[in-house]
Amino acid sequence: MPELPEVEAVVRTLRPLVLRRRIRCVHVFHPIATKPQTAGFVARAGENRRVRLLERKGKHVLLQLDRGLLTMHFRLDGQLLWFSNAREFLKRANQGENGVHVDVGLELDQGVLGFVDRRHFGRVHAWESADECPGLVGLGIDALSTEFTAPRFRELLAESRRPLKEFLLDQTRVAGIGNIYSCESLWHARLNPRRRSNTLKREEAGRLHKAIVSVLKRALECCLHPAPDFRDPAWWFQGLEKILRVYGREGKSCRRCGESILRIAQGGRSTYCCGRCQK
């Protein structure tokens, strides 16, 4: 699932392609991608609107229009594709073996942006304002924002009795962290993912805050070099596996102490941790 670094890399790469462009029309090939909104509602909301601002909030992509906004959430497997023009787009979108899967297409006055999710978990929605979007209104502090300070993070931890891993996945507390980078941050901070959040001492909370920021910034750099290639349907972020220290390494030696990495279940997700050096 794309997390904050991946979505931020997408936004930074996409910005020069769509900023100040006019959306001529919105093609909705698979209406499930706009549910619970109707395909017609989303299409009408985007038609003839100009993209005024492109930004990220948590794991959401926001296209601020001259009236209203469109939001995209990739969920598990969503991604974006770029087509040079409408002719190429209509020739390739969902056209048999030689075509590419596209759920929603934003036909701009220069180029076409396609939203793709073969498993149909991702969503494209339209809103009059960000205040109308429940997913945005409920977001906590963005993990790479200036508001995400060590003192504020300590306050949030002190208010919660949830296990650390589950706390970090709660987007209403800190927005943008997912399963991969929560595991990585806890490993770097040497903290047990099952510890209750409100049991952390001041030094431990500071260590975790520093680890979160460092892990996310390093992952973002990796996601930007090389940058996403929206022209390639098979593109995905390269080299992330080189920076991972614990995620997906069940049974392998901890790179800090040599103990075997464990995989445990927390909140329906797999958590990877070291049973020796994460306390």
The residue type found at 150 is A
Whether residue 155 lies in the annotated active site: no
195, 196, 245, 269: the catalytic one is 269
49, 59, 162, 173: the catalytic one is 59
pTM of the predicted model, to two decimals? 0.95
Whether 207 and 189 have beta carbons less than 8 Å apart is answered as yes
How far CA 172 is from CA of 1, 8, 41, 181, 191, in Å, comes to: 18, 19, 28, 17, 22
Q: For tokens 């030094």, what's the residue?
A: 203
pLDDT digits (tens, 9 = 90+) for 118-128: 999 999 999 99
Instruction: Report CA torsion sign: 137, 141, 142, 146.
Output: positive
Whether residue 2 lies in the annotated active site: yes
pLDDT digits (tens, 9 = 90+) for 24-39: 999 999 999 999 999 9
3-state secondary structure of 200: coil
Whether residue 21 lies in the annotated active site: no
The residue type found at 63 is L
Q: For tokens 């903290």, what's the residue?
A: 191
pLDDT digits (tens, 9 = 90+) for 60-105: 999 999 999 999 999 988 999 999 999 999 999 999 877 899 999 9
Whether 82 and 231 have beta carbons less than 8 Å apart is answered as yes
Whether 245 and 211 have beta carbons less than 8 Å apart is answered as no
**Structure-block tokens of residue 264:** 């445990």
3, 8, 107, 166: the catalytic one is 3
Whether residue 5 lies in the annotated active site: no
